[in-house]
Amino acid sequence: MKLLLTDSGVRNASILAALVDLLGKPISEADALCIPTAGYGGPYGDPYGPWQFTSGQSSSPMTELGWKSVGVLELAVLPDIEEERWISWVREADVLLVNGGDALYLCHWMRKSGLADLLPTLHDTVYVGLSAGSMVLTPRIGEEFVSWTPPSGDDSMLGVVDFSIFPHLESPGCPERSMAEAERWAAKIGDPAYAIDAETAIKVTNGRIEVVSEGHWKLLNPAS
């Protein structure tokens, strides 16, 4: 897969250009599937957030970018749908737009639905994550981001990439997301990690990592 791991969606021209580059064609010619699942998890989950995301009414631009088509893939219903049907929907999409919310809840449903097993086979698909939708592809999130407790009881994610993400850096609405807190979090994580703000995304193609930013970010625990 080709990855664009954002903090707060496609917020600026640089992130938009990175998305178009990954798609290899204009957004108006691309079919998208949006995955709202993470918005239901955790203590702050409610029906309003997923609706904002799917309808393009949120402050984190994803579904409202002018796609040729946008469909909704709710992971919690997939175990009750014939596998061949929903897999065909995913394979036919040019891009997966994955909502923010609770990363552990999202990870649980990615595994339970079977999407986690399918992801490595989607070589030409672009994956665009928003906050938790980005964090779910990392090795782990750290105890600071645990609110919903999964059956496994730990903070492990899917490990598609080999770095972790500290989102919402210096966000006015998240005073606990300071750089000092990011550095304390990273020290406990131990592995390479990126602290990113709302104007930053991480682009991954064929294992090559590129930070796309019109804001602030920092690589913590860089690999030697």
Whole-number Å distance between alpha carbons of 222 and 224 = 6
44 band by pLDDT with thresholds 50, 70 and 90: confident
Q: Which tokens hold the place of 80?
A: 């009750």
pLDDT tens profile 134-156: 999 999 999 999 988 888 889 99
State mean pLDDT over 178-205: 96
Q: According to the model, what pLDDT value does residue 164 have?
A: 97
Whole-number Å distance between alpha carbons of 90 and 71 = 10
Structural domain harbouring 12: 2-220
The residues, any chain, with a CB within 8 Å of residue 168's CB and separated by 6 or more, are 7, 8, 131, 174, 177, 197, 198
Q: According to the model, what pLDDT value does residue 224 have?
A: 63
Distance from the first to the final alpha carbon of the chain: 26
| Of 20-34, 59-73, 138-152, minimum mean pLDDT range | 138-152
- For residue 43, pLDDT beyond 80: no
Q: According to the model, what pLDDT value does residue 151 have?
A: 84
Whole-number Å distance between alpha carbons of 224 and 114 = 35
State mean pLDDT over 149-171: 92
- For residue 196, pLDDT beyond 80: yes
> Could you give the number of structural domains in the chain?
1
Q: According to the model, what pLDDT value does residue 23 have?
A: 98
Q: Which of 39, 16, 37 is nearest to 28 (CA)?
A: 16
Beta strand spans in 28-144 (E)? 31-35, 69-72, 95-98, 126-130
Whole-number Å distance between alpha carbons of 38 and 129 = 11
State mean pLDDT over 191-201: 96
Number of neighbours of residue 8 by Cβ within 10 angstroms: 25
Q: According to the model, what pLDDT value does residue 152 have?
A: 81
Q: Which of 2, 34, 7 is nearest to 21 (CA)?
A: 2
The number of angstroms, rounded, from the C-alpha of 216 to the middle of its chain's C-alpha atoms is 18
Q: pTM for the complete prediction?
A: 0.96
Q: What does the radius of gyration of the chain's CA atoms come to, in whole angstroms?
A: 16
CATH number of the domain enclosing 176: 3.40.50.880
Whole-number Å distance between alpha carbons of 43 and 204 = 31
